[in-house]
A = this chain, B = another copy of it.
Amino acid sequence: MDASEGRGAAGPAAEVSEAAAPPSEAPPIKPPADAPPRRGFSRRRLLGAGAVGIAGLGAAAAGGYVVSDARSGARSGGSDTAAAIPFRGTHQAGIVTPAQDRLHFVSFDVTTESRADLVDLLREWTKAAERMTAGEAAGALGAVDGPIEAPPQDTGEALGLPASQLTLTIGFGPSLFDRRFGLAAKRPAALVDLPAFPGDDLEAARSGGDIAIQACANDPQVAVHAVRNLARIGFGAVAVRWSQLGFGRTSSTSRGQATPRNLFGFKDGTANLKAEDASLLEQQLWAGAADGTPWMANGSYLVARRIRMHIETWDRTSLDEQQAIFGRFKGTGAPKTSADADSAEFDDFEFDTVTGASEPVIADNAHTRLAHPDFNQGARLLRRGYNFVDGSDGLGRLDAGLFFLAYQRDPRKQFIPIQQNLARVDAMNEYVKHVGSAVFACPPGLSRDGYWGDTLFA
């Protein structure tokens, strides 16, 4: 980070503060009223047993309450699920990162018409995102660089909570590449407008958007806090177009994770691309330097679909029928062709197996068959979708379903043909309806000094 770019949170006087702050394990002292804060704002240490010096913060002591090193604080204690995930790297975090339990996804419209303002925002966002993924506050709780009447630079609801494996992943939608910001020539060919699929019933208010941010964490308060603070920082330049919470992951992105269940009660997507599939990831997940869009090299394309599930109808369907639709056993998740007692979820699907009556055991219109790479020219997706329930629908039913998120190298060769296959004949279609849709180009990971979108705006 370059301190000169700061929102005042890490201003030029940081060294003074460094000297004024007590050693991290020493008894707290009340910081001098005029001391700026140290770089970084540990949420956890801030409110630890030794950090009551914060109470000195008030009208007479704006800012200056940070008394410990943020990084060490966020990363020291706690289990893996509380740990921090590195923010920078070749690829963005939050794609092959083992899927966290909770999601807050937001899609923004850009409201400023100034390219410079947009780039400034992306730089600001990057700094706040890096802090928050490390378990720090987005900025100072009290004003630092302005009059004490200024609002806090962090909203506070995650104070005391660990990093919780928060990842923040950014993507750019097709609409960003219109005339406003001079980006039309940089629109990737793979960032197509998705075609209309049979059965689509899309709501504009739940679809599209110029910029998306996916916040995944093991604590939903941490994910919500991150999105809320990015929206706060973006005030005047972006507006929330839509946002979606997911309460439970439905995918595993690593072989070390158990496959969870969707709201049909099934395991699905067990043929998902996983972090360990190095050569498949190169072939099917990451955009390449030779793909025609240099700024997207090491990036990936994200398709988001809000899929409403008619769970009340599903719940009145027999187990037999449910299992036929998926082509799996509900209990274990094993293929229906694995009838042995030792069959298991990751058994191969034997699509050629037929019954005594010469019918395929896994029907021609079974979801698993239609979605399987064997029937899609080998195409796979990296899925990291989430279950949602957003209250009720006014018709006596829960507004529940799957917020489908899938990363891939090229939607033209992956999501689109697979979904055309499914939308046409999938036996599951009777129980689902796609009501939201969006596609985003997610740029590569950040270099040491990079900011979100730097390869695009450079």
- A: which residues have CB within 8 A of B? 28-30, 46-47, 52-59, 62, 65, 102, 104, 109, 111, 141-143, 148-152, 154-160, 205-206, 219-221, 224, 227-228, 231-232, 235, 239-245, 247-248, 258, 260-266, 311-312, 315-323, 329-332, 334, 336, 338-344, 387, 389-392, 394, 396-398, 400
A338 with B243, Cβ < 8 A, contacts A150-B318, A265-B156, A312-B235 known: no
* Contact yes or no, A247 B320, CB < 8 A: no
What is the count of identical protomers in the complex?
2
* Contact yes or no, B261 A156, CB < 8 A: yes
* Contact yes or no, B231 A55, CB < 8 A: no
Q: Distance (Å) between the CB of A335 and the closest chain B CB?
A: 10
Neighbouring B residues of A29 by C-beta, 8 Å: 341
Cα–Cα, bound, A46→B438 (Å)? 38
* Contact yes or no, B262 A157, CB < 8 A: yes
Q: Distance (Å) between the CB of A324 and the closest chain B CB?
A: 9
Neighbouring B residues of A102 by C-beta, 8 Å: 220, 247
Neighbouring B residues of A46 by C-beta, 8 Å: 331
* Contact yes or no, A398 B148, CB < 8 A: no
* Contact yes or no, A261 B157, CB < 8 A: yes
Task: Identify the closest chain B residue to A156 (Cβ).
Answer: B265
Q: Distance (Å) between the CB of A267 and the closest chain B CB?
A: 9
Task: Identify the closest chain B residue to A240 (Cβ).
Answer: B392
Neighbouring B residues of A318 by C-beta, 8 Å: 143, 148-152
A159 with B261, Cβ < 8 A, contacts A58-B336, A317-B151 known: yes
Q: Distance (Å) between the CB of A309 and the closest chain B CB?
A: 11
**Of listed A47, A56, A391, residue having the most chain B CB within 10 A:** A391
Main secondary structure of the interface of A (DSSP, over half): loop
A148 with B319, Cβ < 8 A, contacts A331-B54, A341-B30 known: yes
Neighbouring B residues of A396 by C-beta, 8 Å: 109, 111, 239-241
Identify A221's interface contact among B143, B311, B387, CB under 8 A: B387
* Contact yes or no, B59 A320, CB < 8 A: yes
Q: 23 A-B Cβ contacts within 8 A? A: A30-B341, A52-B332, A52-B343, A54-B329, A55-B334, A58-B320, A58-B323, A109-B396, A142-B319, A149-B318, A149-B320, A152-B319, A155-B265, A157-B263, A157-B264, A159-B261, A205-B394, A206-B391, A220-B220, A224-B400, A228-B389, A244-B391, A247-B247
Q: Distance (Å) between the CB of A47 and the closest chain B CB?
A: 7
Task: Identify the closest chain B residue to A143 (Cβ).
Answer: B319
Neighbouring B residues of A154 by C-beta, 8 Å: 265
Neighbouring B residues of A141 by C-beta, 8 Å: 319, 330-331
Neighbouring B residues of A390 by C-beta, 8 Å: 245, 390-391
Identify A320's interface contact among B148, B156, B220, B340, CB under 8 A: B148
A156 with B266, Cβ < 8 A, contacts A54-B331, A318-B149, A398-B240 known: yes
Neighbouring B residues of A317 by C-beta, 8 Å: 151
Q: Distance (Å) between the CB of A132 and the closest chain B CB?
A: 14
* Contact yes or no, B221 A28, CB < 8 A: no
Q: Distance (Å) between the CB of A65 and the closest chain B CB?
A: 6
Identify A265's interface contact among B55, B152, B258, B322, CB under 8 A: B152
Q: Distance (Å) between the CB of A222 and the closest chain B CB?
A: 9
* Contact yes or no, A224 B387, CB < 8 A: yes
Cα–Cα, bound, A174→B13 (Å)? 62
* Contact yes or no, A265 B336, CB < 8 A: no
* Contact yes or no, B315 A232, CB < 8 A: yes
Neighbouring B residues of A316 by C-beta, 8 Å: 151, 235
